[in-house]
Amino acid sequence: MPGDFLIALVDDDDAVRTSTAGLLRHAGHRVQSYTGGAEFLASDLPEDLDCILLDMRMPGMDGLSVMRALRERGDDRPVLVLTGHGDVPMAVEAMRLGALDFLEKPYPPKELVEAIERACTLRTAAAEGGPAVNRHAVQKVAALSERERLVLLGMLKGQPNKIIAWEAGLSVRTVETYRAQMLAKLGVRGTAQAVKLAIAAGLGEG
């Protein structure tokens, strides 16, 4: 276990917050919990905070609002967002606002820990801000056909297959086929990973 990190955990759901904090502590890290976005932003954040674990769907101030606020403040500490199942548009938007990674609930705890550790390590390694364009990701994406790339871009926008089909003048059936091909070529299992790869490749910027 590579060192202990100080993680800020923002989640309104008591059970999720408690259990996640317990899990992370057991993994050897220190956790500072907050019950909501407002509370989090209003507090004096510790100097040595390594990363922020942010739930997206919260009453009052939701995750995206917190991200925007952080950006405005110029706070570039690594943020990992937790989204609900299938919440791709929200995840993509969060990544655009600077989130380093996202996880869909419920997630295997191992993945959470790995993601946190990755994020915190990256932070110490890369002094400049901005997601590093991953050469590996760029290669993978470059191997896509024009249609597959089109579907990937649509996914990045959070569009359902129907809309992608409509805008491209294709049938839904065709889009679904390209989607499957694209996922296979990228070597990813599902939407979340495809999206992460796309962003890592620098797609969907601007």
Of 18, 124, 145, 193, the residue at the interface with another protein (CB under 8 A) is: 18
Query: Distance between alpha carbon 190 and the CA centroid of its chain, in Å?
Result: 14
Min separation Cβ 133 and another protein, Å: 30
Q: Is 130 in the site for another protein (CB under 8 A)?
A: no
For another protein, the closer CB: 110 or 125: 110
Q: What angle do CA 27, 28, 30 make, to 5 degrees?
A: 115
Q: Is 16 in the site for another protein (CB under 8 A)?
A: yes
Cβ atoms 136, 119 nearer than 8 A:
no
Min separation Cβ 24 and another protein, Å: 9
Of 15, 125, 127, 142, the residue at the interface with another protein (CB under 8 A) is: 15
Min separation Cβ 189 and another protein, Å: 12
Residues near 94 by Cβ (< 8 Å), separated by ≥ 6?
A: 54, 56, 63, 64, 67, 79, 81, 83, 102
Q: Which spans of this chain sit near another protein (rule: CB under 8 A)?
A: 13, 15-16, 18-20, 22-23, 26-27, 57, 84-87, 105-109, 161, 171, 173, 176, 180
